[in-house]
Structure 1
């Protein structure tokens, strides 16, 4: 590998990391290429060379941050696990990412900013970035509810489960403010995982009863 190729590769990684951090902090609209390049120790020509424009850099930074989240907090092999245990692993993965203040938590923070101020990348996130993990939850919920569950039953349960852990992502600023004011201690992520699982399973069990009563 030539020194030029190696240098270009290093510059690209620095730009991706700086972009992920800037977008996670400021959101797409407020983060600027100039700011990202300054943090990366690169010039704007390099950013344009590697990513064409800000939108291209944003998409690549989303993938980069998602890869870091997967590496630090992967979804484990579900083989042999009971379906309720699979749900616990799924929730634990997301909760640990959300409460990670390092690189493993950049993607959830970018996602929260994206939901607050959607861009053209929103469909890209759902259709390409997180599609595999979405499929896992779809399968888990379908297995828990059984064959008699309608698509609407499954869809509502999935949304309710997602809301349980994404709330902690979207209320990050409130949690940080409460901690600064000593209104409460920072949440323990393992406690949040168990609490979220209990609520999710309680809702699933009630839905199971409802479905049985319809038959």
Structure 2
């Protein structure tokens, strides 16, 4: 996505970083509520306490702003640096994957559910925009590579083996459903997924970990049987 070179606005104070961050937060809330198609730079600027020209100045337009919001939303679930630190840190691959699942599950079922990050990502998953290409390149593919390497280490396979890809899909899919799902519908149909209930979040995290690791163990056993 092309980015325009911003022009300096007359009389702008040296508080650009704060203003830019305020615009990003306001944009996240608007995009989560209305989606990209119905959001306007004017409304976003007003919520940020700025003027309409600031969207163009800092982000090259609403398209560039939306792409930045998508990237930031994904980072709030799990940053690439934290993921790499986990993957390259001490411990065996199975424990690393268990820790990773716990991090993501607690983020999605925790306070982040009240923020705009999940709303923006949920809308984008259901109806991808041109900005998805930016999200894919900057966040999704680099993180996917780290995760599939961990899964591959557990199974003794290359990260790009089809078996690893299928296993990664099974591990990630429940989180995608929680991101796109309406919380009220989920708690009505599947009340056991309401993290607000006492002890529910821990139970949800442990369940996701147990299912993922049991599935990988079964897959590894099937691979071993097929090799003989």
Scaled by the length of structure 1, what TM-score is found? 0.83
Give the equivalent residue in structure 2 for 1:115: 125
Instruction: Note the alpha carbon deviations across 1:107-151, whole angstroms, 9 max, x for none.
Output: 333221101111112122121123332222111110111138971
Kept in 1, the 8 Å contact 2:22–2:48? The answer is yes
Structure 1 residue 24 and structure 2 residue 36: aligned?
no
Q: How many Å separate the matches in 2 of 1:150 and 1:156?
A: 10
Aligned partner of 1:86 in structure 2 is 96
Distance in structure 2 (CA, Å) of the matches to 1:182 and 1:206: 29
Corresponding residue of 1:46: 54
Cα RMSD, aligned residues only: 2.8
Gaps of 5+ in 1: none
Counterpart in 2 of 1:124? 134
Q: Distance in 2 between matches of 1:211 and 1:27?
A: 44
- 1:155–1:184: structure 2 CA closer, same or farther, 3 Å change rule? closer
Q: Mind listing any 5+ residue stretches in structure 2 that lack a counterpart? A: 1-10
User: Which one of 38, 45, 48 corresponds to residue 37 of structure 1?
Assistant: 45
Q: Residues 97 and 108 of structure 1 are in contact (CA less than 8 Å); yes or no, is this contact kept in structure 2?
A: no
Residue 100 (structure 1) shift = 3.4
Shift of 1:158: 0.6
Aligned-pair CA distance for 1:36: 1.3
The two structures have a TM-score, normalised by structure 2, of 0.79
| Regions of 4+ moved over 6 Å | none
In structure 2, the CA distance between the partners of 1:135 and 1:178, relative to structure 1 (3 Å rule), is: closer
Which is richer in helix?
1
